[in-house]
């Protein structure tokens, strides 16, 4: 029979109880971290709460877009991009060349979409560049693209990293057999992770340097 008047036994029960309470508190704390800090970092284009306007409306220097093609992006946000350009925002847009785009389409969707979509995107970009030649730059990338990036105020024209209060990057992974609308999106901010932000800005700048100025319309040469 346990003698609950024995100080050593009472002490042992107190220690055991403290250990259990600590374990429960640690589990609850870990759960709160996952719920509050990690889960909100990821969403997708199909998520109703996703709205790029939340970022672009705060741009004061530049909008820098790196995408495979961005047909859905331009359909939804072209007028907003143009509005920011009219305000003096520098707009840079990098997309894959036709052959690389076809490769990525097969990688993600296991099939090719309507090739007219690619031409339509080029035409929209060419018009934007023609209307705002001093603020719009467009380049084509000939390498493999593992993710898309939309940078707000990353100041790519500066040699060293220049951080503004509005600086942020939206990144979307290109995954095997996963349509873009279902691909995970996360946000990289210098406030929350400056090291990751720095490396991502560096990646975007390197892709821009290695890309070719101008657009190549099928059958029409480089324009």
- Predicted confidence at residue 33, as pLDDT, reads 38
Instruction: Determine the average pLDDT of the residues in 167-186.
Output: 91
The answer to whether the CB of 144 falls within 8 A of the CB of 102 is: no
Better-predicted residue by pLDDT, 44 or 34: 44
Q: Is 187 exposed, middle or buried (0-12, 13-18, 19+ CB in 10 A)?
A: middle
The two tokens of residue 77 are 């946000």
Better-predicted residue by pLDDT, 214 or 69: 69
- Predicted confidence at residue 13, as pLDDT, reads 43
* Local structure of 152: helix, strand or coil: strand
Place of tokens 């870990």: 30
Residue 185 φ/ψ, nearest 5 degrees: -120, 140
Over the chain, what is the mean pLDDT? 82
Q: Is 46 exposed, middle or buried (0-12, 13-18, 19+ CB in 10 A)?
A: exposed
pLDDT digits (tens, 9 = 90+) for 110-168: 877 667 889 999 999 999 999 999 999 999 999 999 999 999 999 999 988 999 999 99
* Local structure of 144: helix, strand or coil: coil
Q: What pTM value is reported for the model?
A: 0.77
**Per DSSP, what are the bridge partners of residue 21?**
none
First CA to last CA distance, the chain:
92
Q: What is the number of other CB atoms lying within 10 angstroms of the CB of residue 218?
A: 10
Mark out the alpha helices in 34-115 (DSSP H runs).
Answer: 53-56, 71-86, 98-109
DSSP-assigned letter for residue 34: I
Q: Sorting pLDDT into bands at 50, 70 and 90, what band is 32? A: very low
Place of tokens 């996952």: 34
């Amino acid at each position: 029979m346990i003698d609950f008047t024995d100080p050593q036994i009472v002490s042992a029960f107190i220690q055991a109880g403290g250990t259990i309470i600590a374990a429960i508190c640690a589990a609850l704390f870990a759960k709160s971290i996952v719920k509050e800090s990690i889960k909100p970092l990821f969403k997708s284009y199909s998520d109703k709460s996703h709205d790029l306007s939340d970022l672009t409306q705060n741009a004061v220097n530049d909008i820098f877009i790196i995408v495979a093609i961005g047909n859905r992006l331009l359909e939804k946000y072209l007028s907003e991009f143009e509005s920011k350009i009219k305000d003096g925002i520098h707009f840079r847009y990098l997309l894959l060349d036709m052959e690389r785009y076809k490769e990525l389409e097969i990688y993600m969707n296991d099939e090719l979409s309507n090739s007219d979509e690619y031409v339509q995107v080029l035409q929209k970009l060419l018009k934007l560049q023609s209307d705002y030649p001093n603020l719009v730059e467009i380049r084509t990338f000939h390498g493999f693209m593992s993710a898309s990036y939309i940078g707000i105020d990353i100041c790519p024209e500066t040699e060293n990293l220049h951080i503004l209060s509005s600086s942020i990057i939206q990144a979307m992974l290109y995954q095997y057999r996963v349509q873009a609308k279902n691909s995970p999106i996360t946000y990289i901010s210098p406030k929350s992770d400056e090291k990751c932000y720095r490396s991502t800005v560096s990646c975007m700048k390197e892709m821009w340097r290695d890309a070719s100025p101008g657009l190549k319309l099928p059958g029409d040469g480089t324009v």
